[in-house]
């Protein structure tokens, strides 16, 4: 009798637990559905990319930026008032063996977005359900960016993020530029990522950091695959409440109908083979104060309105360039997730990842060679960085590595 009662109790409590779980699931799916409805705007035209993405061509005036309460009456700036000028165009061909080639996006193979629209990568319910919560979808974790002089944050394993970067600090920076070659690093665990980017920074790390970021990334969690994608990010409070990747929240105002944020880029560099690179330029319009972004030499993509930021309403106090990976150390071993090409900087052109012609924009709107460039990496035996200077490449560096190896157990 006692045993039967116990069994009944067990059955009842198990089924209550199961019901709780499935209603929790239903709630999440419902939340995800609502969020999708907000993110995915009605399209004028949709394009099915060969990589599986859907690219929606959305009327410029219906883009996510205009969900922002402070953008309700905003007049879109169709072009920047100023464009930084410099001696180095940054697109000079290399004299170091085979020449890097220009790059585009996979979805162009299947169509283009009409004038007056912008291409937006459609978010799927699966994308959102992969995130820890609907709220965290499209956002970096707090403390996602490292202050190069305080390696203790990462060495005590609080964040598990590893970097190999160069940086300048202490000046007044109104923008930055770099040409980055593009790779397809292997990711060991779906919750890890590998990215290569520019950071434009102001404020205090971990507290009220303002950051504008752009580059390429492989992030199975965010996109559901291992494709290399062009991305942007912004935050005005150290990744806490504000900001997101791409157009996954309101903020960035896009004006360009050719490049989609978060879409795959193509082709990719190959080891000992052809090298493909992208040029990225971010600069502050001295008249309106907005931060503009250009992809390649001809695609002006749009801008982050000045009011999104606190410190960056004026200028940046630091710029970083380089790679970042997540090391989740599963099984107590260093991750084998690669950074850059997955090869160390010492291997050089054609084999290692590089940033070339790195430049900053000064207070007179000129592109300049950065001065007093620092380098930083938590564990050079896992991922390393080596900088240099030459005629064609200006200030450049090679960076990256394989992660786990005999010297990085």
Tell me: does residue 130 bind ligand NAG (CB under 6 A): no
Q: Active site residue: 324, 329, 371, 378, which one?
A: 324
Q: Which residues is 177 bridged to in the sheet? A: 281, 359
What CA–CA distance (Å, rounded) separates 76 from 67? 14
**Nearest one of 46, 68, 376 to 242, comparing CA atoms:** 68
Q: Active site residue: 192, 213, 320, 378, which one?
A: 213
Tell me: does residue 73 bind ligand NAG (CB under 6 A): yes
The residue within the footprint of ligand NAG, chosen from 51, 221, 225, 362 (CB under 6 A), is 225
Least distance CB 190 / ligand NAG (angstroms)? 7
CB closer to ligand NAG, 186 vs 368: 186
CB closer to ligand NAG, 226 vs 366: 226
Largest CA distance in the chain: 90
The residue within the footprint of ligand NAG, chosen from 226, 240, 270, 328 (CB under 6 A), is 226
Contacts of residue 167, Cβ cutoff 8 Å, sequence gap at least 6:
148, 318, 319, 320, 321, 322, 373, 374, 375, 376
Q: What dihedral angle (degrees, nearest 10) is formed by the CA atoms of 244, 249, 250, 252?
A: 40
Least distance CB 337 / ligand NAG (angstroms)? 8
- Compute CA distances 295 → 68, 279, 374, whole Å: 24, 6, 25
CB closer to ligand NAG, 126 vs 272: 126
CB closer to ligand NAG, 220 vs 267: 220
Least distance CB 193 / ligand NAG (angstroms)? 11
What CA–CA distance (Å, rounded) separates 122 from 119? 9
Contacts of residue 327, Cβ cutoff 8 Å, sequence gap at least 6:
160, 161, 162, 192, 334, 335, 337, 382, 403
The residue within the footprint of ligand NAG, chosen from 187, 195, 318, 319 (CB under 6 A), is 187
Q: Which stretch binds ligand NAG (CB under 6 A): 67-75, 103-111, 153-161, 272-280?
A: 67-75
Burial of 369 (0-12, 13-18, 19+ CB in 10 A): middle
Tell me: does residue 220 bind ligand NAG (CB under 6 A): yes
CB closer to ligand NAG, 226 vs 270: 226
- Please say if 329 is a catalytic residue: no
Contacts of residue 140, Cβ cutoff 8 Å, sequence gap at least 6:
233, 235, 239, 243, 245
Tell me: does residue 328 bind ligand NAG (CB under 6 A): no
Least distance CB 175 / ligand NAG (angstroms)? 28
Tell me: does residue 191 bind ligand NAG (CB under 6 A): no
Tell me: does residue 74 bind ligand NAG (CB under 6 A): no
- Please say if 213 is a catalytic residue: yes
- Compute CA distances 369 → 57, 90, 165, 362, 373, whole Å: 38, 11, 17, 10, 10
What CA–CA distance (Å, rounded) separates 340 from 19? 46
What does the per-residue mask of binding to ligand NAG show for 140-179, with x meaning CB under 6 A?
Answer: ----------------------------------------
The residue within the footprint of ligand NAG, chosen from 130, 186, 237, 288 (CB under 6 A), is 186
Q: Which stretch binds ligand NAG (CB under 6 A): 54-62, 69-77, 230-238, 290-298?
A: 69-77
Tell me: does residue 72 bind ligand NAG (CB under 6 A): yes
Q: Which stretch binds ligand NAG (CB under 6 A): 38-46, 65-73, 124-132, 207-215?
A: 65-73
CB closer to ligand NAG, 206 vs 220: 220
Least distance CB 127 / ligand NAG (angstroms)? 12
DSSP per-residue letters across 223-280: HSS---EEEEEEESSTTSSS-EETTSSS--EE--SS--TT-BEE----TTS--BEEEE
Burial of 224 (0-12, 13-18, 19+ CB in 10 A): middle
Beta strand 265-266 with 210-218 is unpaired
Question: Annotated active-site positions, please?
Answer: 213, 324
Interface residue list for ligand NAG (CB under 6 A)? 70, 72-73, 186-187, 220, 225-226
């Amino acid at each position: 009798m006692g045993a039967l009662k116990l069994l009944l109790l067990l059955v009842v409590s198990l089924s209550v637990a199961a019901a709780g779980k499935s209603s929790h699931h239903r709630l999440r799916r419902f939340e995800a559905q609502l969020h999708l409805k907000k993110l995915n705007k009605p399209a004028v035209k949709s394009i099915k990319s060969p990589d599986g993405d859907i690219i929606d061509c959305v009327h410029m005036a219906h883009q996510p930026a205009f969900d922002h309460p402070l953008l309700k009456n905003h007049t879109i700036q169709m072009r920047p008032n100023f464009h930084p000028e410099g001696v180095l165009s940054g697109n000079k061909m290399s004299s170091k063996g085979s020449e890097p080639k220009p790059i585009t996006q996979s979805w162009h193979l299947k169509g283009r977005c009409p004038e007056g629209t912008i291409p937006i990568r459609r978010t799927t319910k699966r994308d959102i359900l992969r995130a820890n919560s609907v709220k965290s979808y499209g956002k970096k974790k707090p403390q996602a960016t490292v202050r190069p002089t305080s390696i203790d944050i990462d060495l005590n394993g609080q964040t598990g993020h590893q970097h190999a970067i160069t940086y300048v600090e202490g000046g007044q920076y109104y923008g930055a530029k770099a040409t980055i070659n593009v790779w397809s690093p292997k990711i060991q665990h779906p919750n890890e990522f590998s990215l290569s980017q520019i950071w434009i920074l102001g404020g205090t790390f971990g507290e009220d950091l303002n950051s504008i970021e752009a580059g390429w990334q492989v992030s199975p969690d965010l996109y559901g695959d291992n494709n290399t994608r062009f991305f942007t990010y912004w935050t005005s409070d150290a990744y806490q409440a504000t900001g997101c990747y791409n157009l996954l929240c309101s903020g960035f105002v896009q004006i360009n109908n050719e490049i989609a944020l978060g879409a795959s880029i193509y082709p990719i560099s190959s080891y000992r083979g052809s090298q493909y690179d992208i040029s990225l330029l971010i600069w502050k319009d001295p008249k309106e104060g907005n931060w503009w972004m250009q992809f390649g030499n001809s695609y002006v993509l749009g801008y982050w309105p000045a009011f999104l930021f606190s410190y960056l309403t004026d200028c940046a106090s630091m710029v970083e360039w380089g790679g970042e990976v997540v090391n989740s150390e599963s099984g107590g071993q260093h991750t084998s997730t690669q950074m850059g090409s997955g090869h160390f900087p010492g291997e050089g052109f054609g084999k290692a990842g590089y940033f070339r012609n790195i430049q900053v924009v000064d207070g007179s709107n000129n592109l300049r060679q950065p001065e007093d460039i620092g380098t930083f990496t938590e564990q050079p035996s896992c991922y390393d960085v080596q900088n240099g200077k030459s005629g064609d490449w200006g200030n450049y560096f090679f960076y990256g590595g394989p992660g786990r190896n005999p010297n990085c157990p």
